[in-house]
Structure 1
């Protein structure tokens, strides 16, 4: 640190003279000189900003200025009110303190560049050693970073969690070589690139699988605006599972994707180990009869038949579509959806009655009960004629 006669405090970096630029130093290319100064700044502890240049008629750079990132002062931005002529200052934080540290490159006769001006003194403290990894000049996303972010994105891991995971892998966030903001910026670029191509990429990927795996079934449809509106796919494992365990099937449209507002429709069964197995999957933009009919039609084509029994929620569109496409299938409502509506049917007071709940569950969840036995139990319960749910 030096103090000038005018009581101005300067910070002068103390580093290896071989790493410090000097007036008269020459470089064959301008990029070599810029790279040398940026490495010097990274070691010393300040960021570099490219201030300006001057070019000739053919576009060759004659003079090039690089300054400390805290050079100059931030100009105050003004906002004009639309209704009045009053102007309001927009306050934005700035780290500029009028630092004069800089370097200037000029062309020389042999086509190279020479350092003609170099100021190493700074009017602010330099970055401490433990904070240097987070400086802009030391932050760079290489191919390893980008590939890791893209792979995390495929499994729905966001940029912030990707940064933390990478930090755990390399022994701390200070060893990542980038910041969480850098990860977010690259993730945003990926999403911007995919914005107009994601649907086409999905279709192309599925078409490629269909070409290499003949047992892979895939179909899609677009709406009037040529937007992807329906997708159906079933792989070879799902089709084999349906051949063995397809007597009873359930499909539900409860889940909806966040970004595209497409309804996720899985077709699910139960194997011999009482474990869920997926037969096929669909995505639809609208929960209407036409969309469900389209899905069930392709399900029937992919599986070569229809299930004996199908269980769904109480969606009227599903009921119509199943009757049209699966004429021989027994359609039943999901018991969970039925039991969740007990409180609405019988009222809050009776729904909270423990004795009522216990007797109702004994009837509803009784195994191996015929229709006649079920109705007799309801008559004994005394609730059959008072509840439209059990009629």
Structure 2
């Protein structure tokens, strides 16, 4: 980089640098095709440089409009532009007498009107104006086309007009794989995107894998955008039938895996309401570590407005083990009763001890469905409510919470010692008549 003092010599230096150094490294763009310049108007036109075998000719005939369009598409691909279907004349339904096939840059595409107040960031929430992004049009009023008409009684379509001059340049041969008609995903690529998504490999990474395997961008036959659009459309399709797909998959597992269990419940309209499943590993875990089972529904619902319900046990090393799982649409006693019956049917028995939070629907379902199990409340859920129930000042400004945790989170105190310490703590902090603490104390033996 050269620093120049003064402004008079700077343009001269820039001219030398651009002309002598940079200009030699930047290749000039050469238009593709044969360029013709009008001597009167100076208007330039471009004619595709293609073999005569793929170029449309006057009075060519085709047995169908589809074949005529395919021929014009092959001609466009060889020339470096894109073709599309144009207008048609159809006096009677199903009988097309005249059809135009045009360059994709034929005509113009006007911009849609936009509410300028919303575009500027207006916060009027009652306005229903749709904000549309301004996208520049690629159309240049190109007049290149072929026109075919139906001749009877042969029922053939004949070319009666052909305009080969374009008012725009063409795509270079090295870039023609990017043209829309040259881009398409085959079945193997679609299956690869679907399979890779199951292991959290997105469509862009899937494209990069394909590019490496095929040996280049132009060998894939599609772009990253095509891969992303396919995954988007696949997700959109799955969103409509995902429940059916899950049920069918679990049914097949149940059919071919004797130790796999699944049950599901639907509403009268056929909407999935609850689903439970357990495999051989969870059943082995239950046989070994199923003395005490905990289950609870997730606090947040997913986009389907359903909750995940895991059944969990503890192994000999105090690690959590999964004993089954379910998704439910509501937390009613009826739904929980169905879920507990499905659990008993899958495992053959109810656990000796079941631990839940203080959900009344869970309590009623356990009483009705698993009366032989001892129902216990989760201490973590109870202690999480302590600050809210007795007040933040008492918990944060004194040693009340620490003293209470010392007698609650331990297994070395005898029942008599616990009761004595409980009474002392409540007396020291004037909580002997606290309604919530008394209710927790009274249900300790139930």
TM-score grouping bracket, smaller chain normalisation? 0.7 to 0.9
In structure 2, the partner of 1:345 is 389
Mapped contact 1:149–1:183 kept (Cα < 8 A)? no
In structure 1, the partner of 2:73 is 38
Change (3 A) 1:333 1:17: same
Mapped contact 2:196–2:206 kept (Cα < 8 A)? no
Change (3 A) 1:25 1:241: farther
Q: Residue deviations 1:15-66, cap 9 Å, x none?
A: 4536852425958765555344434434544322111456798967665432
Answer with 297-306 or 372-381: which moved more: 372-381
In structure 2, the partner of 1:321 is 365
Mapped contact 1:269–1:279 kept (Cα < 8 A)? yes
Q: Residue deviations 1:281-340, cap 9 Å, x none?
A: 222222101110111122122212121222222211111111222223222222332232
Tell me whether 1:95 sits opposite 2:138 in the alignment: yes
Q: Residue deviations 1:151-170, cap 9 Å, x none?
A: 45666x6xxx7321222212
In structure 1, the partner of 2:100 is 65
Deviation at 1:249, TM superposition (A): 0.8
| From 5, 20, 23, the counterpart of 2:57 | 23
Mapped contact 1:309–1:329 kept (Cα < 8 A)? yes
Mapped contact 2:54–2:74 kept (Cα < 8 A)? no
CA distance, structure 1, for counterparts of residue 408 and residue 103 of structure 2: 77
| From 59, 72, 82, the counterpart of 1:47 | 82
In structure 2, the partner of 1:184 is 229
Alignment of structure 1 residues 368-379 onto 2, 5 Å = 368-379=412-423
SS of the residue aligned with 2:297?
coil
SS of the residue aligned with 1:73?
coil
CA distance, structure 1, for counterparts of residue 429 and residue 77 of structure 2: 81
Alignment of structure 1 residues 230-245 onto 2, 5 Å = 230-245=274-289
Tell me whether 1:3 sits opposite 2:48 in the alignment: no
In structure 1, the partner of 2:431 is 385
Mapped contact 2:56–2:75 kept (Cα < 8 A)? no
Change (3 A) 1:171 1:77: closer
Mapped contact 1:19–1:40 kept (Cα < 8 A)? no
CA distance, structure 1, for counterparts of residue 301 and residue 171 of structure 2: 45
Deviation at 1:383, TM superposition (A): 4.9
Answer with 22-31 or 61-70: which moved more: 22-31
CA distance, structure 1, for counterparts of residue 340 and residue 430 of structure 2: 35
Tell me whether 1:124 sits opposite 2:124 in the alignment: no
Question: Who wins on radius of gyration, i.e. which is larger?
Answer: 2
SS of the residue aligned with 1:99?
coil
Mapped contact 2:103–2:143 kept (Cα < 8 A)? yes
Q: Unaligned regions of 5+ residues in structure 1, if any?
A: 80-87
Aligned residues: 376
Deviation at 1:182, TM superposition (A): 6.3
CA distance, structure 2, for counterparts of residue 380 and residue 296 of structure 1: 40
Q: Unaligned regions of 5+ residues in structure 2, if any?
A: 1-34, 115-129, 442-446
CA distance, structure 2, for counterparts of residue 354 and residue 117 of structure 1: 95
CA distance, structure 2, for counterparts of residue 251 and residue 272 of structure 1: 19
CA distance, structure 1, for counterparts of residue 365 and residue 371 of structure 2: 10
Answer with 176-185 or 253-262: which moved more: 176-185
Tell me whether 1:167 sits opposite 2:207 in the alignment: yes
Tell me whether 1:219 sits opposite 2:263 in the alignment: yes
Q: Residue deviations 1:323-359, cap 9 Å, x none?
A: 2222232222223322322321232333434855544
Change (3 A) 1:349 1:36: farther
SS of the residue aligned with 2:358?
coil
Mapped contact 1:255–1:265 kept (Cα < 8 A)? no
CA distance, structure 2, for counterparts of residue 111 and residue 119 of structure 1: 24
Answer with 170-179 or 312-321: which moved more: 170-179
Alignment of structure 1 residues 144-155 onto 2, 5 Å = 144-151=188-195
Deviation at 1:92, TM superposition (A): 6.2
Answer with 357-366 or 266-275: which moved more: 357-366
SS of the residue aligned with 1:352?
helix
CA distance, structure 1, for counterparts of residue 194 and residue 56 of structure 2: 43
Deviation at 1:230, TM superposition (A): 2.4
CA distance, structure 1, for counterparts of residue 310 and residue 133 of structure 2: 52
Change (3 A) 1:344 1:130: farther
Larger proportion of strand: 1
